[in-house]
Amino acid sequence: MEAPDVEIRRSLRRRRTVTAFRENGRIVVCLPSRLSKAEERRWVQVMLDRLAAQEKRRRPSDEGLLARAGGLSRKYLGGRATPTSVRWSSTQRARWGSCTPSDGSIRLSSRLQGLPTWVIDYVLVHELAHLLVNDHGPEFWALVGTYPRAERARGFLDGYSHAAGAAPSGDADETGDGDEDDVAEVAAT
């Protein structure tokens, strides 16, 4: 496996926490400045492992997505939306997700892979709601609104599209902040 491109940032202000995140294709690890070189090596490995585990959780298989969608339908839509398949799609550049109500299939843009689980869940709930309501009318948004982080996820996706220079989602029309869930952080002491 190729060694990841890692940038170490030491901070005098940072006292007790180690943080790792991806930035422009490299992994940034922020460490308290007082750590020794040996401690630095140890913490970088800990954080790389943690980030890898986190990113793996965020790339569920198609079967994992279908199970996840079923759970979300039960939890937020009374189980009324019954998807038959949920797949990653690499051909959707302009949209985060799409569905075909007649056969119950849902496709998620592979651009979502690696984004926080609660954002992916929002896109799933959105497409599940479209299996029940085709348009973006009040009935549709009432269904989507049962997902507690719907507004925040729309803001996240809109901000993410702008940051990545991608076409904004037709459905995401709000601006929002980033999210702390994007970062692996542990106390170093």
Contact residues for Zn ion (CB under 5 A)? 171
Distance of CA 139 to the CA centre of its chain: 26
Q: Of the two residues 51 and 125, which places its CB atom closer to Zn ion in the complex?
A: 125
Distance CA 99, CA 130 (A): 7
Q: Of the two residues 47 and 124, which places its CB atom closer to Zn ion in the complex?
A: 124
Q: Of the two residues 39 and 171, which places its CB atom closer to Zn ion in the complex?
A: 171
Q: Write out the chain in H/E/C secondary structure.
A: CCCCCEEEEEECCCCCEEEEEEECCEEEEEEECCCCHHHHHHHHHHHHHHHHHHHHHCCCCHHHHHHHHHHHHHHHCCCCCCCCEEEEECCCCCCCEEEECCCCEEEEEHHHCCCCHHHHHHHHHHHHHHHHCCCCCHHHHHHHCCCCCHHHHHHHHHHHHHHHCCCCCCCCCCCCCCCHHHCEEEECC
Nearest distance in Å: CB 173, Zn ion: 11
Q: Of the two residues 49 and 174, which places its CB atom closer to Zn ion in the complex?
A: 174
Q: Of the two residues 127 and 179, which places its CB atom closer to Zn ion in the complex?
A: 127
Nearest distance in Å: CB 150, Zn ion: 12
Nearest distance in Å: CB 137, Zn ion: 11
Nearest distance in Å: CB 65, Zn ion: 17
Nearest distance in Å: CB 136, Zn ion: 6
